[in-house]
Amino acid sequence: MDLILWRHADAVEAGPGEADLDRPLTPKGERQAQRVAQWLNQRLPESTRILVSPALRTQQTAQALGRKFRTVEAIAPDAPAQAVLDAARWPLGRDPVLVIGHQPTLGLVLSQLLGAGLREGLAVRKGGVWWLRSRRREGDAHLLVVAVQGPECV
């Protein structure tokens, strides 16, 4: 099973009294989302399930793909890492899953899966993608890092 973690692109900072969930992408973030979406669309199978946080910035990031996606409340900002893994059905799902979410949650997912044991998780840049694959070989489970990509490199 493939698990692709995509952190939302650059977003405006929340102003006084503004809700975190309502923060849109900046013009820079819109360009980042378009570049990374183009890179992903060249590689993602059609069967990929796309799960997106309800935050506006993740919704806008997902829209850059031009594919259908499902909003999942359980992966909103500050969600626990296990909520992302449960929503993705990791590692038992059949189809690839793309999760568009937030820090620190995505970094905590990576830390858990890669065995880094970092309480703060790994750093995932805005607009960055981590592509992981779970596979079985001779009865043993293996985790493979397929790609790590930032918006400035596509």
CB atoms within 10 A of CB 98: 23
Measured at the CA of 55, the angle between CA 75 and CA 104, to 5 degrees, comes to 50
28: left (phi over 0), alpha (psi -120 to 50) or beta: alpha
How many structural domains is the chain composed of? 1
pLDDT greater at residue 37 or residue 135: 37
**Average pLDDT value for the chain:** 94
Residue 101 sits in which domain range?
A: 2-125+132-153
pLDDT in tens, 107-136: 999 999 998 777 778 989 999 999 999 987
The pLDDT of residue 95? 94
Helix, strand, coil % over all residues of the chain, rounded to 5: 30, 25, 45
pLDDT in tens, 51-70: 999 999 999 999 999 999 99
Q: Which CATH number belongs to the domain containing residue 102 in this structure?
A: 3.40.50.1240
The pLDDT of residue 142 is above 90: no
